[in-house]
Amino acid sequence: MQELDPSILQKVNTWLEGNYDADVKKEIQALLDAKAYTELTDSFYRDLEFGTGGLRGIMGPGSNRINKYTIGAATQGLANYLKKTYPGEKIKVAIAHDSRNNADLFSNITAEVFSANDIHVYFFKALRPTPELSFAVRHFGCKSGVMLTASHNPKEYNGYKAYGADGGQFVAPHDKAVMDEVAKVASVDDIKFTRVDANIEEIGEEVDELYLAGITKLSISPEAIHRQKDLKIVFSPIHGTGITLVPQALERFGFENVILVDEQTTPDGNFPTVVYPNPEEKEALTLALKKAQEVDADLVLATDPDADRVGIAVKNTDNEFILLNGNQTGCMLINYLLSAWEDKGKLTGNEYIVKTIVTSNLIDAIAAAKNVTCYNTLTGFKYIGELMTHFEGKQTFIGGGEESYGYLIGELVRDKDAVVSSAFIAEMTAYYKDKGSSLFEALLDTYVQYGFYKEKLISITKKGKTGAEEIKAMMETFRKNPPATLGGSKVVTLKDYEFRVETDLNSNTTKAIELPTSDVLQFITEDGSIISARPSGTEPKIKFYCSVNGKLASKEAYAETGKQLDAKIDAIMQDLGV
């Protein structure tokens, strides 16, 4: 880039001349002096969007970066929304942060701005998992909560997740109302940064105790755990907040042989032992798998930095450790929960489970066989939380989840929860071991019984301003020219969640989709394959989800049938051009 766009330069000068810290101005001036115009453009070409889930971005100076001022503006806007929504009330909020670099700094800034706006803050004095923040919002009767985290993003990122009074992330119309208030914070001078100590109350171990006691009561198979209490469980928090609660939860459930991955137990925002702190990636579980082989473990658990998602590894029939993907773990959890509830005579016909539209339809098949209602929501756990709040006191939520490794059991929180999920994955492993089966063998039995469903996710990263434009163009092309066939099978249904229309391509008839609007396209083929295209709401990516299924004649046919389904997925993705 030869020169800086005048509109970008104008924003840069606003920061250089405005009421910003000297250190921030020095960083910006250094970029100007170095003629780092591409970096300056990406840092200033827009205001970092306060989206439906809050903020997420790269840390650094600039309006499109995570820093004291973008965090401050988000908090001021949220405070303004709360004061308009609850006039005359004493408003309470809860704040927590994970292990990311600057997360403690940003959580303090968030507390300061709320306190300056005469809002009472319950402030976790040390790092805590996202689900405990959701629990605290509900427990203390807060109107809102904030979690400082960028989940599994690389170390350069941080973020800000905003929660409503039900302990779930904001949904329509409240999300838009918050976004509008944040957008109205036009100047750094509109942000109240002056801390009011009397409005900040520190919390910690007493909330841990309440939360842990609550999830321990949810255990369904304590007898199986007692018989399998020596089950060997390797756990890694991948330098995140999982270390604060997951080992304690496993201990309270009755497991006595939990082995920690020592190199990854210390919280560290640089995530020094992994490329990405993402339990979806095999690389992130390298040390955990090594430890599991050394001790001949039954189960490997690894949580992401804010401990709302969990990845697992189990031994296959050849005694080799393999990673289960999010769909497989979710299906197994739901199958276990419904089977265990059935065993205990707890299914009354009033229970339900929830999944997202891009999560395996094997879950729907399992629920149908057990006569339990399965609801499908848009992608994003906030929609699962919204449904739970809607049905609270009317129907009983057993569990739910999404393919991106996020699950929830019980109604204590309104977000995905790797703490309770880790405890229940261990309980599930003990339950099947007690019956003489491994978790992997139980998965194969599930496929034989309900059908072999196989999924694949392909993410294409497009960074910066040009990347966002490319992603938008890809979605427009798919809308205007949907594929006629995929993987040799005719596309018979097109679901456009942006316009909330489902089209039967055989009859050319349409019907409404009874879900909120979302930029997602789904192609459903004659043979039951489902392909979804969805731009990510939190990362510069477009994601393609492909789900195929077939009959698994026997456990012995697993490998060969799996190859056939893989070939089908590859053919579909090739037809899509991704």
Catalytic positions, please?
Answer: 151
How many beta carbons lie within 10 A of that of residue 233, not counting itself?
26
Query: In which region does residue 393 sit, left (phi positive, over 0), alpha (psi from -120 to 50) or beta (all else)?
Result: left
Contacts of 115 (CB under 8 A, 6+ apart): 121, 195, 196, 197, 198, 199, 200
Q: How far apart are CA 228 and CA 430, in angstroms?
A: 6
Q: How far apart are CA 65 and CA 47, in angstroms?
A: 8
Alpha-carbon dihedral 268, 270, 274, 275, rounded to 10 degrees: 160
Residue 485, token pair as written in the block: 């066939």
Amino acid at site 111: A
Pairing of strands 396-402, 351-356: parallel
Closest CA to 278 of 239, 248, 334: 239
Residue 115, token pair as written in the block: 């306190």
Q: How far apart are CA 108 and CA 575, in angstroms?
A: 50
Structural contact between residues 416 and 309, judged by C-beta atoms closer than 8 angstroms: yes
Structural contact between residues 50 and 76, judged by C-beta atoms closer than 8 angstroms: no
Secondary structure in 3-state letters for 195-219: CCHHHEEEECHHHHHHHHHHHHCCC
Pairing of strands 509-512, 501-504: antiparallel
Strands (E), 125-214: 144-148, 157-163, 200-203
Q: CA distances (Å), 206 to each of 124, 132, 267, in order?
A: 11, 12, 21
Tokens 């939990």 -> residue: 258
Evaluated on CA atoms 170, 174, 175, 178, the torsion sign reads negative
Alpha-carbon dihedral 61, 64, 66, 67, rounded to 10 degrees: 40
Amino acid at site 412: L
Helix (H, G, I), strand (E, B) or coil at 494: strand
Beta bridge partners of residue 144, listed in sequence order: 93
Q: How far apart are CA 78 and CA 178, in angstroms?
A: 6
Residue 353, token pair as written in the block: 């489970």
Structural contact between residues 418 and 308, judged by C-beta atoms closer than 8 angstroms: yes
